[in-house]
Structure 1
Amino acid sequence: MYVADRTWPELGEYVAEESVAIVPLGSTEQHGPHLPLATDHLIAEGLAREAADRTGFLCTPTVNVGVSPHHRQFHGTMWVDAPVFRDYVESMTRNLAYHGIDRVVFVNAHGGNVEHLREVGRRLRDDGTIYAVEWMWDESIPELVDEAFEFNGPHGGPKETAMIQHLAPELVRDDKLAAARDGGVRDVDDVEFLERYGARTFYDAIENSGNGVFGDQTDATPEIGERLFEAAADQLVRLLQWLDDQRIDDLLAPAHVDPQPGSRRPDRAGSGADGSR
């Protein structure tokens, strides 16, 4: 169920019976000479809509600009500052809580969003508003991704190429796959400046890859993309069904532990007979 396609009475019927919502999030950022800037949000929306179709759960519009300043040197990349992103997603999720939703999955396809979505989830859980978790598609199927490609790459590589070949083949510049591989970094292990003495010593993608991408894009095929998509969608559906089965009280933050037996810690009324502290 896609929220924007429904009327308000229909959505009232939904929240009378269900309490789960799916929020897709991605980015609008460079993905090399072969993939569109829409890559991340196309993947997130595709998986979110598929899971919504399979489960009947509510899917919101996609947040398609994320935290991407590390790609800003490449034309067209758009981003918002991290605090703005967190506040926006938190506010949007509180809207869902206002209407009766109490558990949310952030279906994410952009690595730059991960830590911020997890922080939003913590904020919302800590104040008892809603239970929200971040879900990253490739992290749900790591073995399959590793088996599919010899040189995968964390950005603009064969896994994302294969997914877009499956979801939106008309947007893939197939004649640029070899150029993407040759102008980027085929083997991430060859990058010398990823880390020094335990510290990550770079901030922007261009510092490691001249065209912004990693991996061997020529290994991607639509068939592999379909396998990745179906496997990730299966994992997402399982997560949603698990979430739906839980008691909300078991998902929200536990209460503070009681004082130790024999503790002389004063109660909130005061430590003395007269209530003085």
Structure 2
Amino acid sequence: MYLADHTWEELGDYFERESLALVPLGSTEQHGPHLPEATDHLIAEALAREAAERTGYLCTPTVNVGVSSHHRQFHGTMWVDPPAFRDYVASFTRNLAYHGIDRVVYVNAHGGNVQHLREVGGRLHESGDAYCLEWMWDESIPDLVSDLFAYNGPHAGPKETAMIMHLRPDLVREDRLEAARDGGWVDFTYDAACVNGARTFYDCVENADNGAFGDQTDATAEKGQRLFEAATAQLIELCEWLAAREAAELLPRPHV
């Protein structure tokens, strides 16, 4: 059920019987020479709307711009400052709570949003406004990602490439897959980019001149469909688990 497609009367019927909403969040940022800047928000919206369609839960409009200043050196990347992002997400979540939503799944597809969504969730839990969970699609299916790709990369790699091949093949520059691989860092690991346990980089460009990691030539639409179906199943199970919780279970525990 997509919120923006319905009238206020129809939405009132939903709020009378349900108290859960899915909020897709992504980014508008560089994804190498082969993927569109819409990559993250396309993935987040597709997963959230598919889960909502299959379950009947409410899906809100997508937050398309996130915390992405670490990609700012690349043309067209958009971002908001972390405090503004956190305050914005907290504000519209309280808006949902005003209508009767007391549990929210942030359907996230951008790593730069993770820590900020978790902070917002903690803030709203502490205040008792709502119980919010940050859900990152690839973190829900790590074994499948590892099985499908030898070098999956943390950004603009084959897992995201495969997902966009499945969702929007018209936006994938398949003639640039080898360039993405050869101009990036194929076997990147965070440990390899650290010195004596300290992460010494702040911006993506410090590790990959073209902004891409992993082996993009290993991606296919078929693999993307497998990722999409597996992640959707995980998201649906999470929603069902959250919906089944008693409201009292979601409130902060009293002082010992």
TM-score higher than 0.5: yes
Structure 1 pair 118/191, CA: closer, same or farther in 2 (3 Å)? closer
- TM-score between both structures, scaled by the size of structure 2: 0.99
1:214/1:13 Cα in 2 relative to 1: closer, same or farther (>3 Å)? same
> How do residues 252-271 of structure 1 correspond to structure 2 at under 5 angstroms?
252-257=251-256
Provide the rounded CA distance (Å) in 1 between the counterparts of 2:170 and 2:20: 33
- Judge conservation of contact 2:131–2:251 (CA < 8 Å) in 1: yes
Q: Which residue is 2:128 aligned to? A: 128
Counterpart CA distance in 2 for 1:127 and 1:186 is 44
Structure-2 residue corresponding to 1:262: none
The equivalent of 1:79 in structure 2 is 79
Q: How many residues align?
A: 256
In structure 2, distance between residues paired with 1:238 and 1:55: 10
Q: Which residue of 2 aligns with 1:5?
A: 5
| Partner in structure 2 of residue 142 of structure 1 | 142
Please list, as runs of the form range in 1=range in 2, the aligned pairs for 1:2-151 lying within 5 A after superposition.
Answer: 2-151=2-151
Q: CA deviation at 1:248?
A: 1.3
Deviations 1:80-103 (A, max 9, x none): 000000000000100000000000
Question: 1:188 is paired with a residue of what secondary structure?
Answer: coil
Q: What's the C-alpha RMSD, in Å, of the aligned pairs? A: 1.0
Q: Larger C-alpha radius of gyration, 1 or 2? A: 1
Deviations 1:31-89 (A, max 9, x none): 00000000000000000000000110000000000000000000000000000000000
CA offsets per residue over residues 237-265 of structure 1, 9 Å max, x none? 000000010001101210111xxxxxxxx
Counterparts of residues 156-235 of structure 1 (less than 5 Å) = 156-189=156-189, 192=192, 194-235=193-234
Residue 143 of structure 1, CA deviation: 0.2
Structure 2 letter corresponding to 1:17? R
Which consecutive aligned stretches of 4+ in structure 1 deviate over 2 angstroms post-superposition?
Answer: 189-192
The match for 2:239 is 240
Identity %: 70
Code of the residue aligned with 1:250 in structure 2: it is E
> TM-score, normalization: structure 1?
0.91
CA shift at 1:189, angstroms? 4.4
In structure 2, stretches of 5+ residues that fail to align are none
Q: Alpha-carbon deviation of 1:191?
A: 8.4
Contact 1:34 1:172 in 2 (8 A): yes
**For 1:27 and 1:172, how far apart are their aligned partners in 2?**
17
Residue 190 of structure 1: CA displacement?
A: 9.9
| 1:45 maps to amino acid | E
Conserved 8 A contact 2:191-2:197: no
Q: Distance in 1 between matches of 2:155 and 2:59?
A: 26
Residue type at the aligned position of 1:228: L
Aligned mates of 2:32, 2:64 — CA distance in 1:
18
Cα shift at 1:134: 0.1
